[in-house]
Amino acid sequence: MELGKWKELDEKDFLKNFKNEFYLKEGVLYLDGNSLGLLSKRAEKSLLESLNDWKECGIDGWMDGKHPWYTLSEELGKKLSPLIGANPEEVIITGSTTGNLHQLTSTFFKPSGSKTKILADELTFPSDIYALKSQLALRSLDPGQHLIRVKSRDGRMIEEEDIIKAMTDEAALIVLPSVLYRSGQLLDMKRLTDEAHKRGILIGFDLCHSIGAVPHQLSEWNVDFAFWCNYKYLNAGPGSVAGLYINAKHFGKEPGLAGWFGSNKDKQFDMNHDFVAADTAGAFQIGTPHVLSTAPLIGSLEIFEEAGMDRLREKSLNLTRYMMELIETELAGFGFTIGNPRDDIRRGGHVCLEHDEAARICKSLKENGIVPDFRAPNVIRLAPVALYTSFEDVHEAVQRLKKIMGEKQYEKFSNVREVIA
């Protein structure tokens, strides 16, 4: 491959100006946006505006100010809904990823008769498994017997055929990732939803590693529910408030975990002990919104509206494809394996680079001004995020990695992860 190809690719990049929206350190190549996205100037602005609403309005900030707090979660749900192909009333910004999974499982897992099992996969993010095990235990069901985890054939990916085969008459609920957090495999959500519904099983997806990087059509696909964080590709900041989706066909269903912010807005301050739920996804809120942890999403979603999800996906695929091509040509002979799918329709937003010395290579990358992400036992995740990564950045990152490997700079580090991988 021509090493100068990045120049041509950057010249044609229709999203290149968005890089100026973000705070980037000079000389540092940030390739960890699939773990924590960078701060944008607009997210900073909206956070400061909400802080000022508190400063100037006090308690009146619930209804007044630049971004009134009382309906902020609903308003942001509307703005985010195009990113996942949902109707505005089907989306709410609330809670945390795992907290929302607890809410959704409490609501939709109704074991009865022989249908007492939850279907997941063995490669999913551990927090999801912890939550599902907890929900089973709360119902006095043994997780060892009632949580089915579909096996991976190669330790990297889960085949849809194997998931479908596991959709037995005993399954009451299915919870799967849209994109596997290690390998970056993108599951066929439409196919899996269709197959689940043929068998009378409810199905939901963890969108943490796809939202903001991959377009979705949840309403069209008839997905029952979904949940996600907003701090990865959506750049809403560490610990930012998460989100959930409820298909409109489930409106009116009693939330498994009721709380006053799930109330019908006209009834909420009646202070009646009889819960009157909202007739939208807003019913699945529990407590008072964390306004200052929500506010950065206001500015961030403005950027996504301007950039367009389809264009972001196109650039993301081009970036990861270019990175893989460079890895194969420039890093041949250094012991690397690309562990993510090559096909565009099966690949999320990051490259999964495998190496026996992955932990120490990541440390050397950071020393050389590249921010990667390590996942045990041998994965270096590299995420060239479309909004703030150029093709030149990708080229430069591979050249620095080539130098690290050629000079064996990584050997001075231990091959064990840091506390935060």
What single-letter amino acid sits at 342? R
At which residue do the structure tokens 């001075």 appear? 412
- 206 annotated as a binding-site residue: yes
Ranges for all domains in the chain classified under CATH 3.90.1150.10:
5-30+308-406
Residue 2: predicted pLDDT:
56
- 82 annotated as a binding-site residue: no
In this structure, what is the dihedral angle of CA atoms 226, 315, 403, 409, given to the nearest 10 degrees? Answer: -10
Residue 415: predicted pLDDT:
87
pTM above 0.85, yes or no: yes
- 127 annotated as a binding-site residue: yes
Instruction: Give the number of C-alpha atoms closer than 13 A to the C-alpha of residue 119, restricted to the C-beta side.
Output: 24
Q: 204 and 223 in contact (C-beta within 8 Å)?
A: yes
Q: What is the pLDDT of residues 131-179, one digit of tens each?
A: 999 999 999 999 999 999 999 999 999 999 999 999 999 999 999 999 9
Residue ranges in the chain modelled with pLDDT below 50: 1
Give the DSSP H/E element, type plus range, for residue 177: strand 171-177
Paired residues of 374 in beta bridges: 380
Residue 120: predicted pLDDT:
98
- 231 annotated as a binding-site residue: yes
**Dist. CA 267–CA 210, nearest whole Å:** 36
What CATH number labels 45-305?
A: 3.40.640.10
- 62 annotated as a binding-site residue: no
Q: What is the pLDDT of residues 260-278, one digit of tens each?
A: 999 999 999 998 999 999 9
**Dist. CA 386–CA 309, nearest whole Å:** 10
Spell out where 234-384 has E strands.
Answer: 243-246, 337-338, 351-354, 370-371, 373-375, 379-382
- 288 annotated as a binding-site residue: yes
Ranges for all domains in the chain classified under CATH 3.40.640.10:
45-305
**Dist. CA 281–CA 262, nearest whole Å:** 9
- 221 annotated as a binding-site residue: no
- 105 annotated as a binding-site residue: no
Residue 20: predicted pLDDT:
98
Residue 3: predicted pLDDT:
54
Neighbours of 194 (CB within 10 A): 14
CATH 3.90.320.10 fits 5-30+308-406, yes or no: no
- 60 annotated as a binding-site residue: no
State both tokens at 418: 């840091």
**Dist. CA 146–CA 149, nearest whole Å:** 10
Residue 139: predicted pLDDT:
97
